[in-house]
Every structure is written in C-alpha cells, then in structure tokens.
C-alpha cells in the first residue's frame, strides 16, 4: 500500500493543481501519476489537461469557448 495523504499533502495538491501538469505534481510530491489523479478526483480538484498545458506552453491564454480560442469541432 502506498503512503497516506496528510492534510499538508492535500493542501499541496490543491495548490499545485492550479499551476502544474499531473506528471510534474507527481514528481514534486514523490507520488505516482495515478495516485495524484485518483486523489484529485476524490477531492473534486480540477487538474490541467494536456490541451490546457499545450496552450499555456504555446502562449495561448484564451479560455476554451472564448471568442479568441482556436477550438476545433
């Protein structure tokens, strides 16, 4: 069984989820990607998707559905 999530770990996850992709969070917290995803889901914490991360890396700061987004259907 993996290590348990402390209150400090949960706070860190919530904070990191706003800024970093899941693999980076897992590395920073010394946890697996699966455990980070599972815990975030159980806490209803939104994680960055690959598309969001790619847009941020490319400099596109528009939100999906906004007039400036390049959404494909």
- Could you list the mean pLDDT of each consecutive 10-residue stretch along the chain, which spans 73 residues? 92 96 96 97 90 73 55 51
Q: Residue 46: what pLDDT?
A: 95
Q: Residue 15: what pLDDT?
A: 97
Say which DSSP state 62 is in.
Answer: P
Q: Residue 61: what pLDDT?
A: 57
Encoded tokens for 50 = 């690959």
Q: Name the packing angle between helices 22-29 and 7-16 (round to 10°).
A: 150
CB 5 within 8 A of CB 39: yes
15: Cα within 13 Å, side-chain hemisphere: 8
Encoded tokens for 7 = 């209150």
Locate the domains of the chain by residue range.
7-57
CB 16 within 8 A of CB 29: yes
Q: Residue 55: what pLDDT?
A: 74
Q: pTM for the whole thing? A: 0.70
């Amino acid at each position: 069984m993996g290590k348990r999530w402390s209150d400090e770990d949960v706070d860190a996850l919530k904070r990191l989820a706003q800024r970093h992709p899941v693999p980076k969070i897992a590395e920073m917290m010394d946890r697996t990607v699966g455990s980070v995803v599972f815990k975030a889901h159980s806490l209803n914490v939104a994680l960055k998707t690959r598309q969001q991360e790619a847009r941020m890396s490319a400099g596109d700061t528009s939100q999906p559905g906004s007039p400036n987004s390049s959404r494909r259907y």
